[in-house]
Amino acid sequence: MKLSLAIVALALAIPTAGYAQETTAASSGEYPNTFSSGSANISPFTNQSKRFNDWSISVGAGVPLLQSADLTSIKNGNGKNLFGYSAYVSIDKAITHAFGLKLQYDRGETRQGWFNTKDPAPDAMAVGARTQYDALSILGDVNFSNLLRRVDNHSPYRWALHGYAGVGTIAYRAYQKDSKGQRLMTEVKPFQLGSMFMQAGAGLKFKVNRRIDIEGRLMYVVTGDDEFDGGGDAYSAINKRSEQVSDNFFNATLGLSFKLGKHDSHLMWHDPLQEIYYKLDVLANKNQDIEVCKKGDADNDGVCDDWDRQLDTPAGARVDGAGVALDTDLDGVIDLYDKCVTVPGPVENNGCPVKKDNNQTAVEVEKTLKDIYFNFNKATIRPESNSKLDLAASIIKENGGNYLLTGHTDIKGNAAYNLRLSKERAAAVVAALENRGVSQDVLKSRGVGSAEATIPATASDAERLADRKVTVRFVESSEWNSIKKKDYEDAPVKKAVKKAPAKKKKK
């Protein structure tokens, strides 16, 4: 039973510790920071920033009644109740408006059995007992009234229902009395595994004033011990009367709480929802005599002249919150007059970029494509050419025009094969540019093979790489329609293979 209590205690302690303290890691001492809520209106929580008291001291006294035991206090044998006494004192800390912690010390004495041990035994069969105990425990305190109270309840907040649960250590001395006299049956020392216990219950508080509360509390104490009632050894005749393995008792108390601190209100009596709704009600019932736009809106842009930074905004122009006409691309031409709203351009060209001469564009594109390289004997563009293709595509899209791309190969190899390869390479570059957003109507391709190669066949492959290229030429509209999209059919041409001379048959 004690091991079960230890497991329950650990299970209760972990969520209690997590709820009681929120650890915030911060990269710096400034607010807001990476680990804060992100609000600009937050500040470190310090004693100076507190609005409520959160410490108190509670004391109380009451009556314990053994309920689940072999010897009980409630009508056990003689049909009467045997009353003991109890007292407690605790130091209380409010963590939030709905949760707190208590460090509590309890002291008391239970009386149980067939007769009161203050009296002599009525007969030889009668057994009476009393148990003196001291307990130290940590209790979690949940303010159910703050958790469950209706937000539209405007009645005075002077009653509060609290729930308690916690674990601790209990030390006791259990005495038994019969016709032979009284003797000590069991003694348990504190702060040992066998002395662990738990208790839970509820209390109803009444707020007398800002400093004092009155509370009636009923707790159920689970000792985890079958010898607490004074029955002696666990296998004694008395302790065999009941199958219970834990002697438990009710503890009904009446006490006072003294709230400490300099503030007018205690945190456990504060309901933040009530405060918010109260302030909303005040605002809703308040006359809002606010005059807006005292100076009017001279330019009719929807921004009052009181805070309009541009009082002569042209009619129809979109403006920001300060009444300034929008200029999306920041080129000095407001969107109302800008023909190219998202692309910067000079004022004299209505905010659009000035297009270059198409022949100059062809030179720039060819210069960019000069570094476009292909794999040996293939029309596959090498990966290091991607950035150059991106740049060439952006130049064409920005300046427009129709362009013919001509593919070239080096001089080495079969001329027919090289011609086909150059056509495929030019078409491959056109396809790559069109994949980057260039219109399919402005690019065409052709190939000339090795006809214009300048590097001799005896040169190294790295040197002949310069002949494997694509050139660009701007084509006027009158000539454009006479040029095919590409100058080859899709069926591949196989590279010519020399036949080996036939072997002579042996005679």
Q: What b/e readout covers 225-253, taking b as 16+ CB neighbours within 10 angstroms?
A: bbbbbbbbeeeeebbeebeeebbbbbbeb
In sequence order, the β-bridge partners of residue 134 are 107, 171
- Residue bearing the bigger pLDDT, 216 or 232: 216
- Percentage of the chain lying above the pLDDT 70 cut: 86
Could you give phi then psi for residue 104, rounded to 5 degrees? -120, 140
**The CA-based dihedral angle spanning residues 56, 62, 68, 69, taken in that order and rounded to the nearest 10 degrees:** 120
- Residue bearing the bigger pLDDT, 27 or 300: 300
- Write down the pTM of the prediction: 0.52
The band of 39, judged by pLDDT with boundaries at 50, 70 and 90, is low
Helix, strand, coil proportions of the chain in percent (round to 5)?
20, 30, 50
Please determine, for residue 25, whether its predicted confidence score (pLDDT) is greater than 50: no
pLDDT (mean) for 8-32: 49
Q: Mind listing the pLDDT tens digit for each residue in 389-440? A: 999 999 898 888 899 999 888 888 888 888 998 898 899 999 999 999 999 9
Least trusted range by pLDDT, from 106-110, 205-209, 276-280, 313-317: 276-280
Q: Mind listing the pLDDT tens digit for each residue in 368-386? A: 888 787 777 788 888 888 9
The band of 24, judged by pLDDT with boundaries at 50, 70 and 90, is very low
What is the per-residue pLDDT for 90?
98
What is the per-residue pLDDT for 56?
97
Quote the mean pLDDT of the chain. 84
As to burial, measured by CB atoms within 10 angstroms (0-12 exposed, 13-18 middle, 19+ buried), residue 199 is: buried
At how many degrees (to 10) do helices 386-399 and 358-369 cross? 170
CA distance 360 to 423: 24
CA distance 131 to 6: 23
Q: Mind listing the pLDDT tens digit for each residue in 259-286? A: 999 998 999 998 888 778 778 877 877 7
What is the per-residue pLDDT for 17?
46
